[in-house]
Structure 1
Amino acid sequence: MFRELVSLAQSKLRAQEFSGKISCGQVSAAIETSSGKQFSGVCIDAPCSLGTCAERNAIGSMITEGEFKIIRLICIKGNDVILPCGACQELLLQLHPENSEIEVLTSIDGETIKLRDLMPYWWGNIY
Structure 2
Amino acid sequence: MPFYLEIIVSISLLIGSAFLLIGSYGLVRLPDIYMRLHSPTKASTLGITGILVASMIFQSHLKGFLSIQELLITLFLLITAPVAANMIAKTALHHRAKPLERTQNQELIDVIRDREPPRSPHDPS
Scaled by the length of structure 1, what TM-score is found? 0.28
Q: Computing the radius of gyration over CA atoms, which structure comes out larger, 1 or 2? A: 2
Q: Higher helix share goes to which structure?
A: 2
Q: Which has the higher strand share?
A: 1
When normalised by structure 2's length, the TM-score is: 0.28
Greater length-normalized contact order (CA 8 Å, ≥ 6 residues apart): 2
